[in-house]
Chain A
Amino acid sequence: MVKEEEDSSNRPDNTAFTQQRLPAWQPILSAGIVIPGFVLIGLAFIGIGVGLFLTSRDIQVLEMDYTGADGSSPCSVCYNLADKNCVCTMSFSIDSLIKGPVFFYYGLTNYFQNQRRYGVSRDDKQLYGDTSNFASPNSECAPYQYISNVPIVPCGSVANSMFNDTFELFKNVNGQSLPVPLDGKGIAWWTDYNVKFQNPNVTPLINAFNGTVRPPFWSKNVYELDTTDASNNGFINQDFLVWMRRAALPDFRKLYRRITDGDYSAGLPAGNYSLKIHYNYPVNGFGGKKKVVFSNVSWMGGKNEFLGIAYLVIGSLCVVMSVVMLIVYAKFKFPEDN
């Protein structure tokens, strides 16, 4: 009962796609690719690792704890913050030149800038200079949203808890303390300074803050952060920007200043230095530590021994694996091929 004329109107299209015949590359994990691949990756990693390790070793880092939790520290007098404007001085010496540019960091430990509630407690629109949010800050700023119904600017926990220790560095030359110039420009992200944070478009700046109050923890208003330089005042104050960029981990350091000017453009020469610390920021309540760090950087940033070592380890493991695989391959595969 075969029909004479075969009607094929329903016949599916004969395309490579519908017939699942698309040309395709079908890689196989063959020994010829995998074993040399492992050797190559291994050697490459070892090479990079050696490079990283050597680079990192050249970087000089000077780190000092000034918390004052133990009595021997010069700042122990300030630890409990008994009196306001407590000042302590730490002396240290550098044996050999720290090549410039040298970066001056402050560090905090056990400090949870990455807490979720902390992180959301800010008003980006306010910080963007939107004055409508001056009058009614974002509700996520609570409890630093209003003080007795007066809006706080800048609101929120992040701004409120801004780090307010300040440092002065002196080089002791022949009994004289010569101040080392510290450069506070360009320590924040370009986008933070130019895009994300904006002062309200009001002159003088102070007028924009009428009817607002500064965060309770602050001793100065935000428009008084740097009265000497309008481009470093208000929301675009670089120290403020650095603080507002919250850290990912509870132990962090933030860039405080750069030492690039004048005699120190080549670095911090060997000698005795003293660091005058205006100790304002309490850490005793939560057992945190404060430190200062002087460090220079290479093309790949600051000192980072882990990266180099990790590359070396992984590279060597790859090479070892390739040997193991070669042995296994030789033992199990060759007889079968014959």
Chain B
Amino acid sequence: RMRRERFWFCLEEERKVKANDREYNEKFQYASNCIMTSKYNMLTFLPVNLFEQFQEVANTYFLFLLILQLIPQISSLSWFTTIVPLALVLSITAVKDATDDYFRHRSDNQVNNHQSQVLIRGSLQKERWMNVRVGDIIKLENNQSVVADLLLLSSSEPHGLCYIETAELDGETNVKVRQSVSVPAELGDPNNLATFNGEVVCEPPNNKLDRFCGTLYWRDKKYPLTNQNMLLRGCVLRNTEACYGLVIFAGPDTKLMQNSGRTKFKRTSIDRLMNTLVLWIFGFLVCMGVILAVGNAVWEKEVGSLFQSYLPWDPPVDNFLFSAFLSFWSYVIILNTVVPISLYVSVEVIRLGHSYFINWDRQMFCSQCNTAAEARTTTLNEELGQVEYVFSDKTGTLTQNIMSFNKCSINGQAYGKGTSREKNTLDFTPFNPLANPDFCFYDEKLLESVKVGDWHSHEYFRLLSLCHTVMSEEKSEGELVYKAQSPDEGALVKAARNFGFVFRSRTPGTITTTELGRTVTYSLLAILDFNNIRKRMSVIVRNPAGRIRLYCKGADTVLLERLHPCNQELMTITSDHLNEYAADGLRTLALAYRDVSEEEWEVWSESHRSADKAVDCREDRLAAAYDKIEQDMMLLGATAIEDKLQEGVSETIALLSLANIKVWVLTGDKQETAVNIGYSCKMLTDDMMEVFTISGRTVQSVRQELGEGQEGDGVAGDDQLQGSPCPLPPTYLMDNISGEFGLIINGHSLAHALEADMEVEFVSTACACKAVICCRVTPLQKAQVVELIKKHKKAVTLAIGDGANDVSMIKSAHIGVGISGQEGIQAVLASDYSFAQFRFLQRLLLVHGRWSYLRMCRFLCYFFYKNFAFTMVHFWFGFFCGFSAQTVYDQFFITLYNIVYTSLPVLAMGIFDQDVPDHRSLECPKLYEPGQLNLLFNKKEFFICIAQGIYTSVVLFFMPYAVLSNATQSTGVPLADYQTFAATTATALVIVVSVQIALDTGFWTVINHVFVWGSLGLYFTIMLALHSQTLFRIFPKQFHFVGCAQSTLLQPVVWLTIALATAICIVPVLAFRFLKLDLKPQLSDTVRTHLRKPAESRLGARGGSRSGYAFAHQEGFGELITSGKNMRLSSLGLASFASRHSSSWIETLRRKNTPPKEPCSSFL
């Protein structure tokens, strides 16, 4: 069914949706709102899963081997030597896949079964999300998530406005406004909506979040539809009681899902390397087979043909070439144990073990949200030890998205002591009954100065209570709820409220506050609205005494130059404070006021009115008018708002960068905000040589800015490059540049930088920088950046995020991490690992990742070693047994070697080994480097293991050969019979590989002891059992080794041989390791031997000056207020305001959502 739908979408050129008409809409077979991420159901599981499993080359290979073994002429081993492990592998994998899919089903069900209210036949009915169809009308209530992509039809708020938070979608934190389709205003009540039968014709599903284009046909009229009328899935309704929407796109067609990209099966680099190596080994195996087959041909021709009197050729064989052909396949069967199937099982088991350790880690448990870390994908663990690039979202990942009024400077006096925990929070309640208990401030001096009536302090908070666009709602007396468009404003107004200047309510023309218990109503004469160019906003108010005053808050860079000259001294002090705040990464605003005389106001308001009414260049003329009055202001002070970081973010980033991991921040948020976070989490520091900003809107400007960046780098790196006409130094130079640079790039510039002709340039510049921040990027761009690094740097990438806008990046990175324990779960669902706090990343990478990598590498080295040692003995024996594919060992030994005798000790090492304890790897982040450089398991290491394995096999064959060929028991019976030889070699092998694993194990827990000794014990027990009389009496054919164990193991010569072989195998290894430890010690060896002092994390020095201005605010809300559009008319009774400003505000809002034409200059 899905397939047919897909097919249909390919053809879908436009979408037609008729409201309240399911029959009509069903014709088009639009996707339902059901989301399906699971792969199987009950019926399809077995065939589909088996089909998938046999797509694995390894599984098919083993099936092929099994078939070969069923042919008697070439079957050198019994069929059970392959089928037992193969069945084991297939069933373990199937069980794992089934469990995984079960959890996917469960999470799908969870999402699909959310309740929503759907208007069906005129009444609201509860309906599950998955049953929502295109064309349904849905009611949403405040703080509910949007079910599907909806066309907003009506809202409980005036003018069909509704507010949404899009953080899930694009990471922006401010509340956005949407307006219902302008005409069907009468659709307000559900009864009318039930009969609404408009038809929407619009674009087909796509992934563009900021664009929608369509037309609504209703009652023979056409209404154009834009993105402004759409509520997208993933948004959350805020500050709006209820609204109704028409489902346009559902389920997989929603913009959110279209943006999430396809789920790719992730493989680790070790996986890929392993596959390559396994292919090589197959090649090697074929070579061995060919050599032995040629040997067989020669032998059969030269010796075998003459030996026919005792061993005639089988009738069907009867010539040496055919015999050689059969011998080739026989050898393929017996030599296949170089890559045993148990390799794949063991790797999975080890990864599963590591995943459980992540799930169980108490130090990655967040008690605040009661969420433990979770390894959602169990196949990527060792890749965590190789990460070079971390791509992080900002909002919700680095920050908590909580703004707190942290410090302030009033009239040259700095207040606030930061957020140190020991200080007591100020208690405002005795002083101010309207105070909000959630508010925290840590300096009682400020409260004192308010209490003693310091004029500046009063004026400072008065400004904060008046100059904003916050709406208030007072449900009952004193229970104030502020609806702030940006969290910054909310924090400021809340601060003023706590210090006794309580904003109570507003009308289009008035603001009512309670100042220190006294209710005051100001008349609001004008709001000089905020925009990104002005970077300030002002209000002009008349106080009850009739005095007119302008209050202004804005970026220090713009505000300080508009002050009255008499402020010079204060300005210097305040600037110092501002720099201090900026260096701490606080978001600063400067505050100022100006007294306006009545005459001046008259003149200005006239000019303002005319500018407002202007048809052309209204924007510019308004700005000029604003500019005229915002002059000669008196400085009040500055605010410093902390965009609260998650706990431990800056320490984590510092640690990661010491571990040579590059952290890039990719955020949909504004540039200033992102940069501020960059500073507050110490990614950017003031002692960086330079921070480049790339915000050009055209290809040329971006190229030029990139070029400048590279030149800047060049200055520090290589003097010759300074005068070079080519701004592009070779990439290798870029990689080697010392000195620290930061790069900040804007989304629209990034779009150009990601184009094919510039991406190399971009990558080389960005990678030369210590910190990279990409702001205003779309979800797709986040993924593109990740892909770019994957493509050009061949490095392991990790993406971490919390929202739906991070899903694409999480999916495209090698490792995706979701922040769990919060509202949105999309990121978590798409992620490979999830935990509640960014700071857990350091533990995930430096502890779990590092260990996983180390363990996996050690495991693989040992595993290949032990199997080569095991298998190659057959090869040497081939030269002495007429290349007849005679195995050296008993077939039971061959079956059990990999799954019983040697599996557990190496598994224990692969799961439990630790070279250094966890706290050491956090203290010494350099320990992470071997993983990034891929030092512990690569082709070279592989060949060393193989060589060691082959060496061991030589020793294991030729020592018994040399000793036993002439040896006898003390009873005179020769020891050179086949069974004694087999038992001796097998025992020597088990002992040698056990000693080797004992050497390789660096961390001997009880489990290791049990497994190592237990495996040895098990070997002897099983051997005695298999060679016992009891089993022989039941199955004489299979257990023909009867009596061999007792007979062999009682011979001193056998033990002397085993001891000799063990010494020859192990002594060189021991000597080599000891010398390596002395001559070329690894860092981990050093850490292991010496206790080291904890590495000190570097603190960035303060200095320089930089504006800490950042304000998550959107233009247009000022007009919204003065027009009264966002206020309930019933409560206002001021209908006249409604028509005053035509609909210019919505124009402004709309414009802000599409990039303005003029280039945006940088602030830095």
Q: Which A residues contact B (CB, under 8 angstroms)?
A: 1-3, 6-14, 18-20, 22-31, 34, 38, 41, 45, 48, 52, 101, 103, 105, 110-119, 121, 124-125, 128, 130, 138, 142-143, 157, 160-161, 186-192, 195-196, 245-255, 258, 282, 285-287, 295, 297-304, 306-307, 310-311, 314, 317-318, 321, 324-325, 328-329, 332-333
Contacts and interface: CB of A to CB of B under 8 A. Distances in A.
Given A12-B362, A116-B885, A307-B963, A301 B370 contact: no
A34 B961 CA distance: 30
A282 B968 contact: no
A76 B307 CA distance: 21
B1074 A11 contact: no
A115 B311 contact: yes
Contacts of B1077: 29
A307 B1057 contact: yes
B84 interface: no
B1053 interface: yes
B930 interface: no
B1036 A301 contact: no
The 10 closest A-B pairs by CB, nearest first: A191-B1043, A248-B981, A103-B972, A18-B360, A302-B968, A116-B884, A116-B886, A161-B310, A286-B306, A25-B1004
B978 A24 contact: no
A26 B915 CA distance: 8
B311 A161 contact: yes
Contacts of A23: 1005-1006
Contacts of A302: 966-968, 972, 974
A191 B362 contact: no
Given A119-B978, A301-B1051, A103 B968 contact: yes
A233 B965 CA distance: 29
A248 B918 contact: no
Given A247-B977, A332-B1079, A118 B970 contact: no
A212 B361 CA distance: 73
B792 interface: no
A307 B360 CA distance: 53
Given A161-B311, A254-B974, A27 B967 contact: no
Given A24-B914, A301-B975, A191 B970 contact: no
Given A112-B307, A117-B314, A307-B1057, A245 B979 contact: yes
Contacts of B1064: 314
A90 to B, nearest CB: 21
Interface in B1000-1054: 1002-1008, 1029, 1032-1033, 1036-1037, 1040, 1042-1043, 1046-1047, 1051-1053
Given A26-B1002, A114-B880, A301-B1053, A11 B970 contact: no
A299 B1052 CA distance: 8
Given A114-B881, A125-B1037, 9 more contacts: A112-B884, A190-B1043, A248-B981, A249-B981, A286-B310, A300-B1052, A301-B968, A301-B1053, A310-B959
28 contacts: A3-B368, A12-B359, A18-B356, A20-B357, A22-B912, A22-B1005, A22-B1006, A25-B1004, A103-B968, A112-B881, A114-B882, A117-B884, A128-B1036, A143-B312, A187-B972, A189-B973, A189-B1043, A195-B1029, A252-B965, A255-B973, A300-B1052, A301-B1052, A304-B967, A306-B966, A307-B967, A321-B1071, A325-B1071, A325-B1074
B367 A157 contact: no
Nearest to A15: B360
B978 A41 contact: no
Nearest to A113: B978
Given A6-B370, A247-B976, A41 B886 contact: no
A332 B961 CA distance: 41
Given A9-B370, A245-B979, A196 B1043 contact: yes
B978 A114 contact: yes
A26 to B, nearest CB: 6
A248 B885 contact: no
Contacts of B1079: 328, 332
Contacts of A13: 360
A258 B977 contact: no
Contact of B1060 (A160, A191, A248, A311): A311
Contacts of B1071: 38, 321, 324-325
Contacts of A249: 880, 961, 965, 976, 981
Given A29-B1074, A245-B979, A332-B1079, A20 B1089 contact: no
Given A27-B1002, A34-B1070, A41-B1067, A12 B882 contact: no
Nearest to B973: A255
B1063 interface: yes
B301 interface: no
Max chain B C-beta neighbours (<10 A), residue from A20, A34, A111, A119 = A20
Contacts of A160: 310
B303 interface: yes
Contacts of A19: 360-362
Contact of A114 (B365, B886, B1042): B886
B972 A304 contact: no
A304 B361 CA distance: 58
Interface in B1142-1157: none
Contacts of B964: 248
A24 B911 CA distance: 14
Contacts of B267: none
B648 to A, nearest CB: 15
Nearest to A105: B974
Interface in B345-362: 356-357, 359-362
A231 to B, nearest CB: 19
Contacts of A332: 1078-1079
Given A195-B1029, A286-B303, A306 B1053 contact: no
A288 to B, nearest CB: 9
Contacts of A14: 362
A195 B880 contact: no
Contacts of A299: 970, 1052
B371 A10 contact: yes
Max chain A C-beta neighbours (<10 A), residue from B967, B972, B1043, B1057 = B972
B974 A255 contact: yes
B710 interface: no
Given A196-B1043, A286-B303, A115 B884 contact: yes
B1040 A24 contact: no
B1089 A30 contact: yes
A25 B258 CA distance: 53
A229 B1004 CA distance: 60
Given A6-B367, A247-B976, A307 B1067 contact: no
B886 A26 contact: no
Contact of B968 (A26, A29, A30, A297): A297
B490 to A, nearest CB: 14
Contacts of B1130: none
B196 to A, nearest CB: 40
B716 interface: no
B76 interface: yes
A269 B304 CA distance: 43
A285 B309 contact: yes
Nearest to B1008: A24
B694 to A, nearest CB: 36
Nearest to A186: B971
B133 to A, nearest CB: 37
A328 B1046 CA distance: 45
Contacts of B1042: 191, 195-196
Contacts of A118: 310-311, 884
Contacts of A247: 974, 976-978
Contacts of B1036: 124-125, 128, 130, 196
Contacts of A26: 914, 1002-1004, 1088
A38 B964 CA distance: 27
Nearest to B371: A10
Contacts of B882: 112, 114-115, 250
Contacts of A191: 1029, 1042-1043, 1046-1047
